[in-house]
Chain A
Amino acid sequence: MKKLILESLGKSQHRGLNFRDMLYNNEARAFFFQVVTFVLVIGLFYTAIGNLFHNIEERGINTGFTFLKNRAGFDILPFLGNYVVDYTPESSNFSVFYVGLINTLIVAFVGIILSTLIGLFIGIARLSSNYLVAKLAGAYIELFRNIPILLQILFWYNLFINLFPHPKQSFAFFDIMFLNQRGLYLPRPIPEEGFSVVALSLIVGIIAAYFVKKHFKKKHDLTGVYTSTWPFSVGLILGLPVLVFLALGSPLQFDIAVLGKFNLRGGMNVVPEFLALTFALSVYTATYIAEAIRSGIEAVDKGQKEAAAAIGLTPTQSLKLVILPQALRVAIPPTINQYLNLTKNSSLATAIGYPELMSAFGGTVLNQVGQAVEILAMAMLVYLVISLFISILLNYVNKKMAIQGR
């Protein structure tokens, strides 16, 4: 046998590269077809894009990205993006892109946190031994999962603007917070000199808390003596900044909204478009996350819980150390998908005029300059990058959680 192989090897070496050999060589054939496919695909895209720009130019439509530098000339609903970018109609079209991006990111950020919290709660409630709680959670999931998300966004938005009172009859909370059909008005913090020190002390507190926790975990591992760390955490993360804040003489002022002729003025206005969108997306996405959590918990064998009890872990310890790590392993991949969906679904905001990327940039700017291909390509690229970023981040978490092969 060995002799035969050596012989055939010698033969082919002797002959050098032979077409017949290549034809019957699986690897060579596979490589050839891959090259052909690659060239065809690239060629197709190249021709399509070349054709596209040729035709666009032929029809006298502007091309290129110079429009990004031009003055935008229109106003955007004032929200976070406007404040961060300091947007005015004199700003450039690129600023609009930036405003839209920030408004998209804040929806994704708040939406992901909110949907996770609701999802976790509903997912656990669904497994409750309490009949009513379990059925209510089930009803919640069936209701919100089965209505199109666009409809839900429109519903919550129109409900909001019709349900809440006119600014002149706002609901007031201690005369510092107001709620009316134009949104929620919170006191706007105005940091004064020295406030950065407070922020710094918060960061120091978090880092210190981390090391304290690490220290006690090590002690636990070595000696078996368990020390509760939460008083230290609270003291360092909350107490330290508060002390610094007081020591510096409270370097923070608040701007509270007051009633003007038409509107409440000043303060920090959380617009109804944002509230309705984030709420609708969170409530909708939470149904899927709840199902993922439920499937995760159900996937953990009953014996695990019994074994945990048998070695003397308390129910809380058993949940924290045995059940959840295994449940999350199953629940994380589908949850990642839902985070991605939530981020992409935020583009539906265009229906209610929340100035996110697709509404402010992919809508208004597109219409003012008319360069659909460039603008939509930019918007697509942004969603791609955001999604890939979330995906990479959570794949990393997933890897940490996955079973370590030994």
Chain B
Amino acid sequence: MKQLLKLSAASLLVVGALTVQASTLSDVQAKGYVSCGVSKGLAGFSAADSAGNWTGVDVDVCRAVAAATLGDAQKVKFVPLTAKERFTALQSGEIDMLSRNTTWTITRDASLGLNFAGVNYYDGQGFMVKSSLGISSAMELSGAAVCIQAGTTTELNLADWGKANGIEYNSVVSDTNAQTLTNYDSGRCDVLTTDASGLYSMRAAAKDPSEHVVLPEIISKEPLGPVVRQGDDQWFNIVRWSLNAMITAEELGVTSATVDEVTNNPERERLMGRSGSTHEYVGLTPDWTYQIVKQVGNYSESFERNIGINTPIGIARGVNALWTDGGILYSPPFR
């Protein structure tokens, strides 16, 4: 809240100064770091450890952009934001990009002065209940109190779904993820609803994960992706293609370990900036994609490291597999 007020006050003050806006890229290169809005802590997506190191698939998108623009994936200033604060922070210029499990919708894309640069995780809204309730389907939830985070598409989906299925519920709304979880744990509500990835992440963080069940119903499409301000197409392209570079690298089998190998595959050499001139079009050095893969890794590496099946969160690739592996992850060609 305080941050929101601060942001709006700041936005009021800086509007005068921002009338003539420099390009985000030169701003970033001048100050020497990318200012990236992330969540206040969602394990596997964006969370800081006790030493203050941020990790997660959303964090990796920030790092990829830093590697592309500054040649150093560590040069990111992470700004933790609540769901309510995130768009104002981006609109006002407080952050350069937002990578905070944010759902791409037409309203956000077209009316907030923002652009979604792609999708780094295909998600859907689900429900989690305590196993002791003995419930196996969301259709049995009529009369329940539902814990929900304020300022999300989740709130809208739930209302739509409840109406369509004739399910009445009490919504218990909290500002932060932490308070939502406290409410659910204490029993203030019976059900926790958010994106399925978030549910898995919260379940993994619970004292005894087996006490909680994620119900099978997925009630919405939640394509999550990085967001930038409207009106700076160069920066928009950089963010979009940094993410695409990670996806394409997986497709071509380039990992952080094999990135230095020179091969005969022209597509791969083009991606690595060893031939062609795509880097000029986005205004970066030829090794920008190389730095991304070298320092952050390809999409699969990032996924498996943060949320994959061998992590406590344990999410299978599912729809987030490459299109060649039966998923829907698909990058336009580097050409």
Interface residues of A (CB under 8 A from B): 47-48, 51-52, 54-56, 58-62, 73-78, 89, 158, 161-162, 166, 181-182, 260-263, 265, 272, 347-348, 350-353, 355, 358-359, 363-364, 366-370, 372-373, 376
Contacts and interface: CB of A to CB of B under 8 A. Distances in A.
Given A261-B143, A350-B1, A372-B8, A74 B174 contact: no
Given A353-B179, A358-B1, A265 B143 contact: yes
B87 A353 contact: no
A51 B231 CA distance: 17
Interface stretch (B50-58, B181-189, B293-301, B312-320): B181-189
B145 interface: yes
Interface stretch (B118-126, B153-161, B269-277): B153-161
Contact of B172 (A60, A260, A353, A363): A353
Given A363-B151, A368-B151, A76 B112 contact: no
A75 B159 contact: yes
B18 interface: yes
Contact of B143 (A60, A77, A260, A364): A260
Contacts of A75: 155, 158-159, 162, 169, 171
A372 B190 contact: no
B113 A74 contact: no
Contacts of B88: 366, 370, 372
B132 to A, nearest CB: 10
B163 interface: yes
19 contacts: A52-B12, A60-B111, A61-B111, A62-B112, A73-B159, A73-B160, A76-B171, A89-B162, A181-B186, A263-B170, A350-B175, A352-B174, A359-B175, A364-B155, A367-B84, A368-B107, A370-B87, A370-B91, A372-B91
Given A51-B19, A78-B170, A161 B1 contact: no
Interface of B: 1, 8, 11-12, 15-16, 18-19, 83-84, 87-88, 91, 107-108, 111-113, 133, 141-145, 150-152, 155-156, 158-160, 162-163, 169-175, 179, 182-183, 186-188, 190, 229-231
B145 A59 contact: no
Given A55-B15, A89-B163, A158-B182, A61 B171 contact: no
Given A51-B19, A89-B163, A263 B144 contact: yes
A353 B84 CA distance: 13
Chain A to chain B: the 3 pairs with minimum beta-carbon distance, closest first? A367-B151, A89-B159, A61-B113
Given A55-B19, A358-B1, A363-B150, A61 B160 contact: no
Nearest to A376: B8
Secondary structure dominating the interface of A: helix
Contacts of A372: 8, 11, 88, 91
Contacts of B150: 353, 359, 363-364, 367
B84 to A, nearest CB: 5
Contacts of B91: 59, 61, 370, 372
Contact of A62 (B111, B183, B231): B111
Most buried by B among A61, A89, A355, A367: A367
B170 A77 contact: yes
B195 to A, nearest CB: 16
A131 to B, nearest CB: 40
Contact of A55 (B18, B155, B171, B183): B18
Contacts of B8: 372-373, 376
Contacts of B142: 261
B7 to A, nearest CB: 8
Contact of B186 (A62, A158, A359): A158
B154 to A, nearest CB: 9
A161 B156 contact: no
Contacts of A355: 173
Given A166-B187, A372-B8, A351 B175 contact: yes
Contact of B19 (A54, A265, A351, A367): A54
A69 to B, nearest CB: 15
Given A263-B144, A351-B175, A353-B179, 11 more contacts: A58-B231, A59-B230, A78-B170, A161-B183, A161-B187, A166-B187, A353-B183, A363-B151, A366-B151, A369-B107, A370-B111
A199 to B, nearest CB: 30
B253 to A, nearest CB: 40
A150 to B, nearest CB: 9
Given A75-B159, A158-B182, A369-B111, A51 B16 contact: yes
A359 B152 CA distance: 13
A384 to B, nearest CB: 15
A77 B155 CA distance: 12
Contacts of A272: 188
Contacts of B186: 158, 161-162, 181
Contacts of B231: 58-60
Nearest to A165: B187
Contacts of B162: 75, 89
Nearest to B152: A367
Contacts of B151: 363-364, 366-368
Contacts of A61: 91, 111-113
A364 B111 CA distance: 16
B271 to A, nearest CB: 32
B15 A52 contact: yes
Nearest to B84: A367
Contact of A368 (B156, B169, B171, B179): B156
A76 B146 CA distance: 11
Given A161-B187, A262-B144, A364-B150, A77 B173 contact: yes
Contact of B179 (A47, A60, A261, A352): A352
